[in-house]
Structure 1
């Protein structure tokens, strides 16, 4: 009882500290990336907080698995380094004896990884796509904030308006920079209004001037106009956008027989199994010797994590390309690693050496 409670208590402390550090790092990196995308017009600046929260949810399964792995390796390595493991082994505890407290501590985290991978992660991707699509459906004129420069969705136009009017479909004091086929045009107009005609979006400009420059020759032409119509792109069609596989629910993936859907399913199921394998890997690789100041076991553990999660992505690619079936990909990679780790733990316990002894040596 004391053995289980002490190990689990230390594991939980290490796990929470590691998770806080990882979340802080990931939040900082994701926030910088999202702010950069917002400035390029990928989504509305007002949706930055929502996009940030959804992105963290999509990264949560990997963060939980990594925090669990780091906590197991760090706690068991400390026990070996401080000779605490020797005390437990002298009391009759073997390597397999640590499986019980490790699994009792890890099962809520593995369950959370499963819930976030199979349910929360697709939902977060779907909500992110809804926000992006809703922003793309808005006109280029409507997405512009008065007094701020804003790039169009395709990046070929830069807009600036002084003020909105008429339900944000009309802008006053419009400034545009258009780049297309070796020419750059600077257009200014007193007023601009967006119209949709036969599935295409046009910007109707009134009382303006157009200065066009050929980028290869530097030739400049200028023209004044009372009314002009500028094509700004196709009107977005909500029904034409195909659903992204990452945003599909797990039940829909099970019903979909395509190779792409099977590849995504392999990634989700494999990540849940990987979280469990991380516990076994931490137990198998954390062994050390207090008389030797060596950290090679930590290097091996880090190497295993990197290779394993890259293999997880690689098996998804193999299934998508039709090189492997989805069931052998899951059972072969993750099941094979589970058996290998259990065999390594048994070898550290001396089970294979006991089997190799002669009967008379065992009696002696």
Structure 2
């Protein structure tokens, strides 16, 4: 009917705008982080976009509930402030009838959050971990920009390239410092040529006019210094291969976690199921929390709403940690506590309604 459509529209708009704002802020934050890694030569442009998209998908299970929560408080607060709720009651609409479109939207959002948490999020984490492993493997000499020091092989080799011709891959001002055990080797060259994957397992760095200094500990602890000049000198850099991501509960299917006996798996699967429950509970909390006196403004309770949200997710975060450590079997005491508080506050709020 007309009233239902009106209430649905008035509550959907603040929710959608809040969700878009939160997702936009999160994407901007993720882009800033990944652009920093790209500036260090660890990621390329296409990887940045994919990683940012995956991170945004993962964050939806948290961003959508808080967007619904804040959106409902703002929307219902405006209806109370503008006396529209009073007008609807005077027209014969009970409070429960007024909340039907609100609860319907909350159920729809909770179903969406459940889909994200149970299926989309594990897939996104699996893709994210695989892509990060590939990015680390590809962050080798052939992908790194000039003008920076780059460390390879667990800090056993450091390379600096002053200039690099992108067309020919000719290098100028090459400096290489290698260390293994008690041996230190420093190489300086005016020019060089990089051949990526000259062998299947290695890259070739062919240097010209190379100056080499080598220091090694001899017998009895005495140092032996060697120095030389070579018209041509080759360095072979092992090509790094991506290691398969290890076992991580966040990337496991929900069905596999449900059959597991590991405490951290129990915590993860309970967290996934708790997100749609939390979405519904927070939407129900928004109804009594949005009650304001006429002309007090739609944002009168937003600060209190944020405090309640922060406290609740701190509690459920603590419960999740306790389950991961095996101290508790379930994290459901946190949603249960919120449900009990709601059951106590709701009748009081109805009796004191303006």
Query: TM-score scaled by structure 1?
Result: 0.76
**Whole-Å separation in 2 of the counterparts to 1:346 and 1:248:** 42
Partner secondary structure for residue 246 of structure 2: coil
* Deviation by residue 1:132-169 (Cα, 9 ceiling, x = unmatched): 22233337233336x57473467843443735899x9x
Give the superposition deviation at 1:9: 1.4
Distance change (3 Å), C-alpha of 1:100 and 1:196: same
* Deviation by residue 1:62-103 (Cα, 9 ceiling, x = unmatched): 221121111100011111111222222334444433432112
Match of 1:359 in 2: none
Give the superposition deviation at 1:320: 0.9
Which range moves more in the overlay, 42-51 or 77-86? 42-51
Distance change (3 Å), C-alpha of 1:318 and 1:278: same
Match of 1:71 in 2: 71
Give the superposition deviation at 1:125: 1.7
Aligned-residue RMSD, C-alpha: 3.8
Partner secondary structure for residue 242 of structure 1: coil
Match of 1:28 in 2: 28
1:257 paired with 2:261, answer: yes
**Whole-Å separation in 2 of the counterparts to 1:212 and 1:263:** 54
Match of 1:350 in 2: 351
After TM superposition, list the pairs within 5 Å mapping 1:33-52 onto structure 2.
33-52=33-52
Is the contact between residue 142 and residue 196 of structure 2 (CA under 8 Å) also seen in structure 1? Answer: no
Give the superposition deviation at 1:293: 6.5
Partner secondary structure for residue 174 of structure 2: strand
**Whole-Å separation in 2 of the counterparts to 1:177 and 1:81:** 70
Is the contact between residue 197 and residue 204 of structure 2 (CA under 8 Å) also seen in structure 1? Answer: yes
Match of 1:302 in 2: 306
Match of 2:164 in 1: 162
Partner secondary structure for residue 116 of structure 1: helix
Distance change (3 Å), C-alpha of 1:132 and 1:94: same
Give the superposition deviation at 1:44: 3.0
Query: TM-score scaled by structure 2?
Result: 0.78
**Whole-Å separation in 2 of the counterparts to 1:29 and 1:338:** 33
Select which of 209, 212, 215 maps to 2:211. 209
Partner secondary structure for residue 349 of structure 1: helix
**Whole-Å separation in 1 of the counterparts to 2:192 and 2:336:** 68
Select which of 226, 236, 246 maps to 2:250. 246
Match of 2:58 in 1: 58
After TM superposition, list the pairs within 5 Å mapping 1:262-341 onto structure 2.
262-290=266-294, 297-326=301-330, 329-330=331-332, 332-341=333-342
**Whole-Å separation in 1 of the counterparts to 2:12 and 2:73:** 13
Distance change (3 Å), C-alpha of 1:302 and 1:155: farther
**Whole-Å separation in 2 of the counterparts to 1:83 and 1:184:** 80
Distance change (3 Å), C-alpha of 1:252 and 1:90: same
Which range moves more in the overlay, 55-64 or 88-97? 88-97
After TM superposition, list the pairs within 5 Å mapping 1:180-259 onto structure 2.
187-188=188-189, 190-191=192-193, 206-207=207-208, 208-210=210-212, 223-226=227-230, 227=233, 235-236=240-241, 238-239=243-244, 241-259=245-263
Distance change (3 Å), C-alpha of 1:211 and 1:267: farther
Partner secondary structure for residue 243 of structure 1: coil
Unaligned runs of 5+ in 1: 214-220, 352-364
Give the superposition deviation at 1:229: 5.1
1:108 paired with 2:108, answer: yes
Distance change (3 Å), C-alpha of 1:255 and 1:210: farther
Is the contact between residue 271 and residue 320 of structure 2 (CA under 8 Å) also seen in structure 1? Answer: yes
Partner secondary structure for residue 6 of structure 1: helix
Give the superposition deviation at 1:296: 5.2
Aligned length: 334
